[in-house]
Amino acid sequence: MQVSNAEVAAELDKIADLLDVEAANRFRVRAYRRAARLVGAFGRSVADMRDEELDELPGIGPDLAGKIVTLAHGGHLPLLDELEREVSPGVTALLAIPGLGPKRVHQLHEALGIDTVARLTEAANAGKLHDIPGFGRGLETKIMRALASGAVAQPRTLLSKAEQIAVPLLQNLWQAEGMKQAEIAGSYRRRRETVGDIDIVVAAASNQKVMQRFTSYEAVAEVVERGPTRATVRLRNGLQVDLRVVPEESYGSALCYFTGSKAHNIKLRQIAVEQGLKLNEYGLHKGVRQIAGRTEEELYERLGLRYIPPELREDQGEINVARENRLPQLVSVKDIWGDLHVHTNATDGRASMREMAAAARARGYGYIAITDHSRRLGMAHGLDVKRLARQMEEIDRLNDSLNGFTVLKAIEVDILEDGTLDLPDTILSKLDLVIGAIHSRFDLPQVKQTERILRAMDKRCFNILAHPTGRLINQRPAYAVDMERVMRGALERGCFLELNAQPERLDLNDAHCRLAKSMGLKLAISTDAHAEPELGFMRFGVDQARRGWLEAADVLNTRPVNELLSLLRR
């Protein structure tokens, strides 16, 4: 039995969390976290790789390679059994609470004997948390709010992880006899950053054969429901998948209905009623006669609308815009000329500059920007002035050997608490591109955090604000910042903001993208790649940009290098 990369990565992350809770050797913890990230981003199924192939990957030794192979083929690790025996389930449940990583869970257990959510709630209500070193009243309040809001509930699945699970399932379904059409619908198709479950719509000659293949899929843990045209299963990882089989003449209507959103569908049904028609998942009907529904395009056209891309179907004005034939020509991956946020093994990346450049060139790009961390980020072995100067010389030598591809000299420089930058202007002014980022003091009040960013943007060498809200989906909320004021400040100063394509970031969100577009502020879609496979995250950033109604002209890196450099000049 083969297991998806996402499932393998989740098990490796679980091991790292449990080791962290036990305060294990930090290098051992880091090895499992690095392996989880690498496997999760890898473009090839690790189940198809041999031990020696995995052993060649950066940071994966023979022992870890063997464990990955075991997990990838459905095996279980004795180490995980041992850790789960040593760490109580209650302690593990604490890891789901925002603000509580493994180290803080360990502190809670050591200081107050907290090993369940109930005991944490009791201690928080009694005001005992803020006395623990490193917690404070702000974190205590944040934890209390999370507990009150039910934040310990199972989080939604990241789109990238859902993709690794849903795509192989769909490919398996296509092997059923009589398959005609099939697509993943729901929030997955609308490319929301997280999904609650998976919906699949199928048109086939034989419902029974499709149902049989679906319910017998190797990753299915439980068949919740099965009927002639619909079935629901729960996978081993807990994700629910719903299948609906419809006639070919209803496929477009069913796909539209199960793609949603609910609010968008209600608007479509209202339009149908206004025209004396009836719309449901089986088609558009005039009386008893079906007049549209075989394809989505046919359905929208019959309702007097231009076809609306799934990413826009959120009832945020797209219906009226489609009626007036003013829908945007959404940006696509093929519009992207290069990646403006890429790390190498000079700091915390896992590939050399030459390897990252070759991987980007293989994707058809014309340039990348090498943006390793600055010295403030000690855990990433950030660059000081001398090391950055040597890297710039190395880039010049590399560019001399390239033809038709440019490596831009850049850095991801820390924005310090007072708004100054981590490196002096004398070196930053010599770069092609300066990306500024916040990696500390996420707890500043909104006014101070906003002023901090604006002061950094005052520097003429500053070009792009990276991952502008600092959020990590399901892990860390955004810091408090007046995003509209930051965007206006960037526009006034000739700066730009980044849409970070890392699947756990996707920062900015879709609403921020629409706000930037309304102001005329261009955004850079960048991957923040730390290894060659992560350059492929660009598609998730583009998905988010499309949800934000962005066109190619709204995106900074949809231009060749000379035009890009002209826009970056302040």
**Strand 230-235 versus strand 240-246 pairing type:** antiparallel
Residue 463 has pLDDT above 90, yes or no: yes
The owner of tokens 């997280």 is: 194
Tokens of 327: 């829908």
In the three-class reduction of DSSP (H, G, I as helix; E, B as strand; rest coil), residue 564 is classed as helix
CA distance 312 to 302: 19
Q: What band does 109 get if pLDDT is binned at 50, 70 and 90?
A: confident
- The per-residue pLDDT for 191 is 98
- The per-residue pLDDT for 55 is 65
Q: What band does 381 get if pLDDT is binned at 50, 70 and 90?
A: confident
Over range 120-135, report the average pLDDT. 79
Composition of the chain by helix, strand, coil, percent to 5: 50, 15, 35
DSSP for residue 33: H
**Strand 289-292 versus strand 338-342 pairing type:** unpaired
Over range 266-275, report the average pLDDT. 96
Average pLDDT, the chain: 89
pLDDT of 25-82, one tens digit each?
A: 777 877 888 788 777 766 667 777 776 676 666 667 777 878 788 877 777 788 877 7
CA distance 78 to 66: 13
Nearest to 476 by CA among 78, 98, 185, 63: 98
Positive or negative: CA dihedral 42, 43, 45, 48: negative
Tokens of 355: 């390897």
Q: What band does 453 get if pLDDT is binned at 50, 70 and 90?
A: very high
Q: Where is pLDDT greater, at 179 or 113?
A: 179
E-assigned strand segments in 62-145: none
Over range 284-306, report the average pLDDT. 96
pLDDT of 518-565, one tens digit each?
A: 999 999 999 999 999 999 999 999 999 999 999 999 999 999 999 999
- The per-residue pLDDT for 37 is 77
Q: Where is pLDDT greater, at 125 or 431?
A: 431
H/E run at residue 492:
helix 483-493
Positive or negative: CA dihedral 292, 298, 299, 301: negative
CA distance 217 to 213: 6
Residue 281 has pLDDT above 70, yes or no: yes
Q: How many CA atoms lie within 13 A of 366 on its CB side?
A: 14
The neighbour count for residue 65, using CB atoms within 10 Å, is 21
Q: What band does 407 get if pLDDT is binned at 50, 70 and 90?
A: very high
CA distance 129 to 151: 18
Q: Would you call 203 exposed, middle or buried from its count of C-beta atoms within 10 A (0-12, 13-18, 19+)?
A: buried
CA distance 52 to 56: 6
- The per-residue pLDDT for 152 is 53
Q: What band does 384 get if pLDDT is binned at 50, 70 and 90?
A: very high
CA distance 340 to 449: 24
- The per-residue pLDDT for 59 is 66
Contact 210, 180 (CB under 8 A): no
pLDDT of 172-191, one tens digit each?
A: 999 999 999 999 999 999 99
Q: What band does 89 get if pLDDT is binned at 50, 70 and 90?
A: low
Over range 334-357, report the average pLDDT. 96
Angle at 111 between CA 105 and CA 117, to 5 degrees: 45
Domains of the chain, first to last: 5-148 (1.10.150.110), 154-246 (3.30.460.10), 258-327 (3.30.210.10), 333-568 (3.20.20.140)
Q: What band does 113 get if pLDDT is binned at 50, 70 and 90?
A: confident
Tokens of 357: 């450049």
Contact 456, 421 (CB under 8 A): yes
Q: Helix H segments across 128-241?
A: 136-148, 159-173, 186-189, 207-215
Over range 136-150, report the average pLDDT. 72
- The per-residue pLDDT for 186 is 97
CA distance 114 to 120: 6
pLDDT of 478-510, one tens digit each?
A: 999 999 999 999 999 999 999 999 999 999 999
Tokens of 118: 């109930």
- The per-residue pLDDT for 450 is 97
E-assigned strand segments in 405-561: 406-414, 433-437, 464-465, 496-500, 523-526
Over range 385-401, report the average pLDDT. 97
Residue 243 has pLDDT above 90, yes or no: yes
Q: What band does 143 get if pLDDT is binned at 50, 70 and 90?
A: confident
- Ranking 25-39, 177-191, 198-212, 225-239 by mean pLDDT, the lowest is 25-39
Over range 426-450, report the average pLDDT. 95
- The per-residue pLDDT for 1 is 56
Residue 348 has pLDDT above 80, yes or no: yes
- The per-residue pLDDT for 63 is 78
Residue 290 has pLDDT above 70, yes or no: yes
